[in-house]
Amino acid sequence: MAIKLISVSEDYWGDDFPESMPALAQVLLGTGGQKEYNFTGKQRALCRAGMTVVFRYDGYLLGEGEVVDVRDDGWQMIYRPTRVYRPPVRGSNFFKAGASIYYEFTSAQLAKIRAGVEAESSDPYPKTGEKPGMTTHRIGQDAVRKSALSRYKNRCCLCGVDDPRLLVAGHIRGWARGEKQRGQPENVVLMCLLHDGMFGKGLMSLKPTTYQPEFAEKALPVRTLKLARKITRAFRGPTRSPPSDELLRWHRKHVFLGDE
């Protein structure tokens, strides 16, 4: 059985690239059915129907699919997701491909990868430790937080949580991808830890203009979805500088995992 490595490139995806590795795995492998993947020029002649493909990004393996067809022009692969690696595992632990996009590995290697995923997901005693490194501090973040707490009157915009220790001044367009919008109050929404976490991971969004909260139903377990709906109230607007419709549309296109 031939197994092909597909190295997903952020440069190739451009603005459509999901912000996080879990979101990328969800796009590539998370909802079943058949999916499409557009090759780069160097990859396009190397896959064929029946082949197993393993997706890799930033050194981590995200999961597997089975090639159903390759378009006649060779640029697009149709595949069926078969396995999501939770958590993703570092490929270099099982094979040495470097930056190669031609790499094919054996059934024995794939078996070791699967065993490694199983071990990481079930090991109750993960390895811990410390290592020296450099840290990056976000300049101006304190001022952004103080402004958000003031505008939203120290309360989550979607529930009643009013303890500042449990509130986050979250960015609609994330800090890393929205440099020009970092300090704009229209890009900052005050939420509790739960709502901010769901919003940042694309499990929830706000509709432009109405600010109606919407959940990514297919991406959430039933109990979590039920609980989230139970504690979520209608959006409570700030005293000034409400969320930008343009930025909310960006979030729904590039981060939100729900259906449009």
Residue 175: pLDDT band (50, 70, 90) is low
pLDDT in tens, 83-99: 998 888 888 888 887 65
Residue type, 235: F
Can you give the pLDDT at residue 103? 79
pLDDT in tens, 180-189: 656 688 999 9
**12 phi, psi to nearest 5 deg:** -70, -35
Give me the domains of the chain, ranges plus CATH numbers.
Answer: 3-122 (3.10.590), 141-254 (no CATH)
Name the more confident of 159 and 77: 159
Provide the 8-state DSSP code for 31.
S
Spell 147-186 as b/e; 16+ CB within 10 A means b: bbeebbeebbbbbebeeeeebbbbbbbbeeebeebbebbb
Global pTM reads 0.50
